[in-house]
């Protein structure tokens, strides 16, 4: 998505070979018009999949996920990184290790918001090693539902996450695929 790539080049900061800071438009301050276009792009790509719900992991995936859910006219569900005291054990949980933070957390989904007949579009802000996406997939599959597609705002293609998801047969649609990062350097995968 050309507009997203331009925004990354203009406002993103590559801190080193693995970390891209995009807090000015995606994960601290949010550019709502860009998120609307991103959500529409995901919705258009996955519109023929019979999507019944859009899932995302808190918190940076919420803005693009809600925009896709609006366009698809389906509910959006947030997978929580911390268990709520009011969920009373009626949850699916799995452990996920965050590449960016270097920490682990329990990803939690209330059983109330998923059904075995659901066809889920999973949206996340970044794809690096694929741990967050795989955690979401585990919860969806544990509930007996189907992962009908995975939408990624920014993919770090030089890390193994994409291959892990491709090897499992998932349709992964990334809007900006980065081939290389270095301090002050951001390069994108050349799309054919």
Domains of the chain, residue spans: 35-177
* Closest by CA position to 119, among listed 49, 25, 182, 58: 49
Q: What is the dihedral of CA 165, 160, 78, 71, to 10 degrees?
A: -60
Can you say which residues are annotated as belonging to the binding site for 5-phospho-alpha-D-ribose 1-diphosphate?
A: 128-132
Paired strand residues for 94: 107
Does pTM surpass 0.85?
yes
Given a cut of 80, whether residue 192 has pLDDT beyond it is no
Can you say which residues are annotated as belonging to the binding site?
A: 20, 27, 128-132, 156
Q: How many CB atoms lie within 10 A of CB 13?
A: 14
Given a cut of 80, whether residue 189 has pLDDT beyond it is yes
Tell me what percent of the residues of the chain surpass a pLDDT of 70.
95
Tens of pLDDT, residue by residue over 42-101, are 999 999 999 999 999 998 999 999 999 999 999 999 999 876 666 667 899 999 987 666
List phi, psi (to 5°) of 82.
-135, 135
**pLDDT value of residue 103:** 82
User: Is 35-177 a domain of CATH 3.40.50.2020?
Assistant: yes
Can you say which residues are annotated as belonging to the binding site for xanthine?
A: 20, 27, 156
The CA-atom distances, in angstroms, between 42 and each of 46, 152, 160 are: 6, 9, 22
């Amino acid at each position: 998505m050309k507009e997203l790539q331009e925004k990354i080049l203009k406002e993103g900061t590559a801190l080193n070979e693995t970390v891209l800071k995009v807090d000015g438009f995606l994960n601290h301050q949010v550019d709502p018009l860009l998120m609307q276009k991103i959500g529409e792009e995901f919705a258009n790509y996955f519109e023929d999949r019979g999507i019944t719900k859009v899932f995302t992991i808190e918190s940076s995936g919420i803005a693009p996920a809600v925009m896709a859910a609006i366009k698809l006219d389906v509910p959006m569900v947030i997978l929580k990184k911390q268990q709520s005291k009011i969920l009373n054990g009626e949850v699916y949980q799995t452990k996920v290790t965050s590449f960016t933070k270097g920490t682990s957390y329990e990803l939690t989904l209330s059983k109330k918001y998923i059904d075995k007949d659901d066809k889920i579009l999973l949206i996340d802000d970044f794809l690096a090693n694929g741990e967050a996406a795989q955690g979401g997939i585990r919860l969806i599959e544990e509930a007996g539902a189907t992962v009908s597609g995975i939408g990624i705002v920014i993919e770090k293609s030089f890390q193994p996450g994409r291959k892990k998801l491709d090897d499992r047969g998932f349709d992964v649609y990334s809007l900006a695929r980065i081939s290389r990062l270095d301090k002050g350097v951001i390069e994108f995968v050349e799309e054919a």
